[in-house]
Amino acid sequence: MVLCTDMSLHFQQIKNMKSMITLPENVDKTKALSLIVHCADIGHPAKKWSLHEQWTNMLCEEFFRQGDREKELNLPVSPLCDRNTVVVAQSQIGFIDFIVEPSFQVLGDMIERIVTPKSPTSDEKEGEAKRFEKPSEKRDIPAVSRPWLACFKENKEAWTALAPDSKPKT
């Protein structure tokens, strides 16, 4: 389960989940949990600005210390680890736009797929298909709430105010 937080696997994981949620079969529980853990790991932009900013500062300091150590060892400095060149606001806008938002889109779609009841097939017995539903009731399934969208918008606006040259996608 810890490997699902490995960013080198990010794009393949998202691609696999996008594909899986379009299939008629049930969503694989292990892969669903892996996506949830991955989104939790990268999800600080889905929090209110005050928390997101704190997490960003702590993570950037961790990255910058790594870059400092790499310089001391005469190693190439890893991406986003050079405190002298990284523009934090722009990097966060890119992180939200290209990593976090697409991941949470798949997460929301996956949750919706899991909680939306499957339509009965012709193979199912009529009584079995309706056992949880009274004949007079119509089941309205509410859309899955995606509260993180407001946080993404708020946080991108805050970063944009700190880096006026950047233009986030809307």
Q: Which domains does the chain have, with CATH numbers?
A: 2-115+145-162 (1.10.1300.10)
Which residues of the chain, if any, have pLDDT below 50?
Answer: 129-136, 138, 166, 168-170
Residue 62 CB neighbour total at 10 angstroms: 11
Whole-number pLDDT of residue 103: 97
Whole-number pLDDT of residue 44: 98
**C-alpha span between 111 and 142 (Å, rounded):** 12
Model pTM? Answer: 0.80
Tell me if 42 sits within 8 A of 103, measured CB to CB.
yes
For residue 41, say whether it is annotated as part of any ligand binding site: yes
Counts of helices then strands in the chain (DSSP H, E): 7, 0
